Amino acid sequence: AARAATASRRLALSGLALAAIGAVAASGKAIIVKLAYRHGIDAMSLLALRMLVAFPFFVAMGLWAARRSSRTLSLREWLQVAGLGFTGYYLSSYLDFLGLAYISATLERLILYLSPTLVMLIALVVLGQRPSRQQLLALAVSYGGVLLAFGHDIAFDGRRTLIGSALVFAGALSYAIYLFGSGQVVARIGALRLTAYASGIASVLCVGQYLLTRPASGLLAFPAPVYWLSLLNGTLCTVLPVLAIMIGVKRIGPALAAQVSMLGPVSTIVLSVWLLAEPMGLWQSAGTALVLAGVLLVGRSAGRGR
Residues 108-120 pLDDT 10s: 888 887 787 788 8
> Is pLDDT at 302 greater than 70 in this prediction?
no
| Angle ∠(253,135,172) on CA atoms, nearest 5 | 75
Residues 19-76 pLDDT 10s: 889 888 988 999 999 999 999 999 999 999 999 999 999 999 999 988 887 788 899 9
Highest-confidence segment of 88-102, 137-151, 179-193, 241-255:
88-102
Question: What is the pLDDT, as a whole number, of residue 259?
Answer: 66
Residues 199-211 pLDDT 10s: 999 999 999 999 9
Give me the percent of the chain exceeding a pLDDT of 90.
40
Note the pTM of the prediction, 2 decimals: 0.85
Highest-confidence segment of 133-142, 172-181, 196-205:
196-205
- Rounded CA Rg of the chain: 19
Question: What is the pLDDT, as a whole number, of residue 298?
Answer: 64
Question: What is the pLDDT, as a whole number, of residue 305?
Answer: 47
| Lowest-pLDDT choice from 66-75, 199-208, 220-229, 245-254 | 245-254
Provide the pLDDT confidence category of residue 174 given band limits of 50, 70 and 90: very high
Of 74, 91, 265, 73, which is closest to residue 177 (Cα–Cα)?
91
Provide the pLDDT confidence category of residue 87 given band limits of 50, 70 and 90: very high
Integer Cα distance of 202 and 206 in angstroms: 6
> What phi, psi does 102 have (nearest 5°)?
-115, -30
Higher pLDDT, 171 or 112: 171
Question: What is the pLDDT, as a whole number, of residue 306?
Answer: 43
Integer Cα distance of 235 and 244 in angstroms: 12
Question: What is the pLDDT, as a whole number, of residue 137?
Answer: 82
Of 271, 220, 276, 251, which is closest to residue 38 (Cα–Cα)?
276
